[in-house]
Chains A and B, each alone.
Chain A
Amino acid sequence: MSQVQSIVQSVSGRAVPLIGNDIDTDRIIPARFLRCVTFDGLGAQVFADDRSQLSGQHAFDQPQYQGAEILVVNRNFGCGSSREHAPQAIAKWGIKALVGESFAEIFLGNCLAMGIPCVTAASDALQTLQDWIAAHPAAAITLDLEAMQVRFGDSCIPVSMGEGARNMFLGGTWDACGQLVAQGAAIQQTAAKLPYVSWSR
């Protein structure tokens, strides 16, 4: 993947608000859907149990949010299991960026490795944003990673992201695999200095 294609400066599109704190990865993708050897097909199963219990009233089922590309959540989104199936399912449903009050650490790392920016905003700003989206579901919003803000209608809210992650999106280097592998000699040097690497067992 070339760096040019990987650069993420901004994401614009319609948004979907998903209200609630501590939405864990078991709810995002229940464990029974992890019985697979590829990530294909997870898009249809995202939030499967929550959606079936709300019989059509879950934001991911509501007609006005179909085709949304930015997911706006609350506190501690993605807590629990390390399953990348969770952000993969969200991405396969069509989401390209997330805005929330906070994200669980491993979920955040998975999104970064997949090239999906997750930014945080203050609780009251998020509520304003979620309310606005509910009132204007057909309108596009913009997450701008250079200005570090989300713009909607005539308003905008400031957002945050770790500096390392932001640099990776803006520089197109969020897919770290190639960069890591390229450091073969330095990796061998680090390994050679670690006592346990040379122990005989």
Chain B
Amino acid sequence: MSKGTLFDKVWDLHKVGTLPSGQTQLFIGLHLIHEVTSPQAFAMLRERGLSVMFPERTVATVDHIVPTENQARPFADAMAEEMMQAIEQNTQTNGITFHDIGSGNQGVVHVIAPEQGLTQPGMTIACGDSHTSTHGAFGAIAFGIGTSQVRDVLASQTLALSKLKVRRVEVNGSLMPGVYAKDVVLHIIRKLGVTGGVGYAYEFAGSTFEQMSMEERMTVCNMAIEGGARCGYINPDQVTFDYLQGRDFAPQADEWEQAVAWWTSLRSDADAEYDGLVVFNAAEIAPTVTWGITPGQGIAVTETVPTPDSLTAEDRELAGEAYKYMDLAPGQPIQGTQIDVCFIGSCTNGRISDLREAAKVAKGRHVVAGIKAFVVPGSERVKQQAEAEGLDKIFEAAGFEWREAGCSMCLAMNPDKLQGRQISASSSNRNFKGRQGSSSGRTLLMSPAMVAAAAVTGKVTDVREML
């Protein structure tokens, strides 16, 4: 078992006790909720006559169902409108802060909590969304939960959990120009597989992550779950503290000094023990694109779709399914694959730095005729900042649509969807069959800059040639 890691320290500090089953009762420092996975949890509380134990430790917003074009209420989709009303009512009744559309603070839950300074090192964070691993970028232990567990957190601010093992995933060196955090995490998942992290927390360490901004770190931790790891984290450092200082909910004055000292003490010890170690070299990472139907089926943009004989027996079966679904042949270059839709946004890559990188590629170029390309800021604040910088104008001049904040086509439970067999270049996190709203639609995951490159060339393109 691991010893002396940040995970161990934070786990021990939040341990309320041991349940008769042997599981740990763990205190949850920050609970984030949204409209999709919370209404049933509130209904369960009502059925049991329970109340919310720490309403001030839960924060709500709406993201999954919100339209990114016309946000006028009532929503055109009556079911989405019903979900909106449910979260409005549940948060009001229980005294929970709700960041509604138009408040200036609404957005994808994993974008708004960090930008408001709610996400802090040393916290335990839970949310009914698998991409809660994002918050691990701050040195928090953050993981996704289901609705019954949302009920448990509302009722007790705790969860019944078994401790995870900790694997150190080290990447060292500088990334080449045109290679982004998204490529790093796609590369890691490609190498360790989509089940490599099951039962583990991933500690991302090494000079590559140390050199990353907080937003880049969030992109990496966001996709830990795609590698099977329920949570991923990075030890807090000066970059973390600089990002947090002055944000709405960050500690201030004397408390700031105390906080920095406490956060620093939580870093994994130099002699910490891990349940596993893997090491990668940043120089070997190229812009990475998925060709298949799991996030583990990624290749460098310069590579060809793997042939069955290059794969293990286990991977071969899934590859066979993927060739057929994606209509891509083994040995075919991924570069040059024609694209129908380009989506920039999501909790993985919908932050201001993502939009800046995409805008650099879009600037002075134009989306190829017939391609639908759109940019969805991760939050109302990201949108406001982007507009202040004129990014919206760059995108619009290049033929991209500029939208309101939301989850949009990452999971397509709102009006943004693929149609039929359309194929998308997407800065989101999942390329599962049917993920983007059409049961036969296809998704190629890549960095926002690569999506912009695909939009202006009409096909998968190595963004390094365009910088």
The residue that B53 contacts in the complex, of A26, A187, A190, with Cβ under 8 A, is A187
| Interface presence of A76 (CB below 8 A) | yes
CB <8 Å contact, B255 and A199: yes
**Residues on B with beta carbons closer than 8 Å to the beta carbon of A88:** 147
CB <8 Å contact, A102 and B146: no
The residue that B411 contacts in the complex, of A31, A37, A84, with Cβ under 8 A, is A31
**Residues on B with beta carbons closer than 8 Å to the beta carbon of A167:** 20-22
CB <8 Å contact, B144 and A35: no
B17-55 to A contact mask, C-beta < 8 Å, 1/0: 101111101010100000011011001100010100110
Interface residues of B in 131-153 (CB under 8 A from A): 132, 143-149, 151-152
Chain B, interface size category, equals: 35 or more
| Interface presence of A94 (CB below 8 A) | no
Instruction: For B19, give the chain A residue with the smallest CB separation.
Output: A179
CB <8 Å contact, B317 and A21: yes
CB <8 Å contact, B198 and A162: no
Q: A81-B411, A105-B230 are in contact. Are A37 and B82 (CB under 8 A)?
A: yes
| Interface presence of B368 (CB below 8 A) | no
Measured in the bound complex, the distance between the Cα atoms of B230 and A163 in whole Å is 19
Measured in the bound complex, the distance between the Cα atoms of B335 and A123 in whole Å is 36
> Main SS of the interface on chain B?
loop
Chain A, interface size category, equals: 35 or more
The residue that A53 contacts in the complex, of B21, B123, B194, B439, with Cβ under 8 A, is B439
The residue that B40 contacts in the complex, of A37, A80, A176, A186, with Cβ under 8 A, is A37
The residue that A180 contacts in the complex, of B43, B152, B430, with Cβ under 8 A, is B152
Interface residues of A in 1-51 (CB under 8 A from B): 20-22, 24, 26-27, 30-32, 34-39, 49-50
Measured in the bound complex, the distance between the Cα atoms of B411 and A195 in whole Å is 37
Sample of 24 A–B contacts (CB below 8 Å): A21-B314, A22-B194, A22-B318, A24-B432, A26-B411, A31-B412, A37-B40, A49-B434, A76-B198, A168-B21, A168-B23, A179-B19, A180-B25, A180-B156, A180-B159, A181-B156, A183-B17, A186-B25, A187-B53, A190-B16, A195-B259, A196-B122, A199-B259, A201-B249
Chain A contact residues, CB within 8 Å of chain B:
20-22, 24, 26-27, 30-32, 34-39, 49-50, 52-53, 75-76, 79-85, 87-88, 102, 104-106, 109-110, 113-114, 162-165, 167-168, 171, 173, 176-177, 179-181, 183-184, 186-187, 189-191, 193-197, 199-201
Chain B contact residues, CB within 8 Å of chain A:
13-17, 19-23, 25, 27, 29, 36-37, 39-40, 43-44, 48, 50, 53-54, 64-65, 77, 79-80, 82-83, 86, 120, 122-123, 128-130, 132, 143-149, 151-152, 155-162, 194-195, 198-199, 225, 228, 230, 248-252, 255, 258-259, 262, 293-294, 314, 317-318, 321, 411-413, 430, 432-435, 437, 439-440
